[in-house]
Amino acid sequence: MNLNNRSKGAHGERIAIKYLSDKGYELLDMNYWVKFGEVDLIMLHGEFIVFVEVKMRWDCDKGWPVEAVTPKKQKNIRQVANIYWQMGQWKNKQPRFDVIEIIKYEQNKTAIRHIVNAF
Protein backbone atom coordinates (compact mmCIF):
# COMPACT_ATOMS: atom_id res chain seq x y z
CA MET A 1 0.00 0.00 0.00
CA ASN A 2 1.61 3.25 -1.11
CA LEU A 3 0.01 5.98 0.96
CA ASN A 4 1.47 9.32 1.90
CA ASN A 5 2.19 9.94 5.59
CA ARG A 6 -1.04 11.87 6.21
CA SER A 7 -3.15 9.08 4.71
CA LYS A 8 -1.20 6.47 6.69
CA GLY A 9 -1.77 8.44 9.86
CA ALA A 10 -5.51 8.79 9.19
CA HIS A 11 -5.73 5.06 8.46
CA GLY A 12 -3.98 4.24 11.74
CA GLU A 13 -6.22 6.62 13.65
CA ARG A 14 -9.35 4.93 12.25
CA ILE A 15 -8.00 1.54 13.35
CA ALA A 16 -7.22 2.93 16.82
CA ILE A 17 -10.66 4.55 17.19
CA LYS A 18 -12.38 1.25 16.34
CA TYR A 19 -10.12 -0.68 18.70
CA LEU A 20 -10.64 1.73 21.60
CA SER A 21 -14.38 2.15 20.96
CA ASP A 22 -14.77 -1.62 21.12
CA LYS A 23 -13.14 -1.44 24.57
CA GLY A 24 -15.60 1.20 25.84
CA TYR A 25 -13.67 4.39 25.09
CA GLU A 26 -15.59 7.42 23.81
CA LEU A 27 -14.01 9.69 21.20
CA LEU A 28 -14.00 13.34 22.28
CA ASP A 29 -11.70 14.84 19.69
CA MET A 30 -9.21 13.88 17.03
CA ASN A 31 -6.20 15.68 15.60
CA TYR A 32 -6.48 18.40 18.25
CA TRP A 33 -3.91 20.94 17.14
CA VAL A 34 -2.27 24.03 18.65
CA LYS A 35 0.74 25.93 17.33
CA PHE A 36 3.38 23.67 18.94
CA GLY A 37 1.84 20.26 18.56
CA GLU A 38 -1.04 17.87 18.09
CA VAL A 39 -2.75 15.04 19.93
CA ASP A 40 -4.03 12.30 17.64
CA LEU A 41 -7.01 11.16 19.71
CA ILE A 42 -8.66 12.39 22.88
CA MET A 43 -10.83 9.73 24.45
CA LEU A 44 -12.97 9.42 27.55
CA HIS A 45 -12.68 6.19 29.55
CA GLY A 46 -14.15 5.96 33.03
CA GLU A 47 -12.43 8.45 35.29
CA PHE A 48 -9.81 9.31 32.66
CA ILE A 49 -9.46 11.71 29.79
CA VAL A 50 -6.99 9.81 27.62
CA PHE A 51 -4.61 11.54 25.21
CA VAL A 52 -3.62 8.95 22.63
CA GLU A 53 -0.66 8.99 20.27
CA VAL A 54 -1.14 6.58 17.36
CA LYS A 55 1.90 5.17 15.58
CA MET A 56 1.63 2.79 12.65
CA ARG A 57 4.26 1.02 10.57
CA TRP A 58 4.16 -1.37 7.64
CA ASP A 59 7.37 -2.98 8.86
CA CYS A 60 9.73 -2.59 11.79
CA ASP A 61 12.92 -2.02 9.79
CA LYS A 62 13.27 1.41 11.43
CA GLY A 63 12.19 0.21 14.88
CA TRP A 64 8.93 -0.33 16.68
CA PRO A 65 6.26 2.33 16.21
CA VAL A 66 6.31 3.30 19.89
CA GLU A 67 10.00 4.23 19.58
CA ALA A 68 8.91 7.24 17.51
CA VAL A 69 7.24 8.72 20.61
CA THR A 70 10.42 10.46 21.70
CA PRO A 71 10.83 12.51 24.89
CA LYS A 72 10.41 15.68 22.79
CA LYS A 73 7.18 14.31 21.27
CA GLN A 74 5.96 13.37 24.75
CA LYS A 75 6.64 16.90 26.00
CA ASN A 76 4.68 18.39 23.09
CA ILE A 77 1.76 16.04 23.68
CA ARG A 78 1.71 16.96 27.38
CA GLN A 79 1.65 20.67 26.53
CA VAL A 80 -1.20 20.26 24.04
CA ALA A 81 -3.08 18.03 26.50
CA ASN A 82 -2.69 20.62 29.24
CA ILE A 83 -4.31 23.28 27.05
CA TYR A 84 -7.21 20.95 26.24
CA TRP A 85 -7.62 19.91 29.88
CA GLN A 86 -7.48 23.51 31.10
CA MET A 87 -10.52 24.40 28.98
CA GLY A 88 -12.39 23.26 32.05
CA GLN A 89 -14.94 20.75 30.82
CA TRP A 90 -12.76 17.76 31.73
CA LYS A 91 -11.03 18.97 34.91
CA ASN A 92 -12.93 16.36 36.90
CA LYS A 93 -11.20 13.63 34.85
CA GLN A 94 -7.71 12.35 35.47
CA PRO A 95 -5.44 12.87 32.43
CA ARG A 96 -3.60 9.83 31.03
CA PHE A 97 -1.25 9.36 28.10
CA ASP A 98 -1.51 6.18 26.03
CA VAL A 99 0.14 4.98 22.84
CA ILE A 100 -1.51 2.76 20.26
CA GLU A 101 1.09 0.89 18.22
CA ILE A 102 -0.12 -0.62 14.96
CA ILE A 103 1.84 -2.87 12.66
CA LYS A 104 0.37 -3.80 9.29
CA TYR A 105 1.92 -6.92 7.84
CA GLU A 106 1.22 -9.39 5.09
CA GLN A 107 -2.10 -8.91 3.33
CA ASN A 108 -4.72 -7.28 5.57
CA LYS A 109 -3.18 -8.42 8.87
CA THR A 110 -2.81 -5.96 11.71
CA ALA A 111 -1.19 -6.22 15.13
CA ILE A 112 -2.28 -3.66 17.73
CA ARG A 113 -0.61 -2.96 21.05
CA HIS A 114 -2.24 -0.55 23.48
CA ILE A 115 0.28 0.90 25.92
CA VAL A 116 -1.72 2.33 28.82
CA ASN A 117 -0.11 5.17 30.78
CA ALA A 118 2.82 5.10 28.34
CA PHE A 119 4.40 8.29 29.65
Which tens digits make up the pLDDT trace of 29-74?
999 999 989 999 999 999 999 999 999 988 777 788 999 999 999 9
| CA distance linking residue 64 with residue 52, whole number of Å | 17
| CA distance linking residue 58 with residue 78, whole number of Å | 27
Q: How much is the mean pLDDT over the chain?
A: 91
pTM of the model as a whole: 0.89
Dihedral pair phi/psi, residue 21, rounded to 5°: -60, -40
First to last CA, the chain: 31
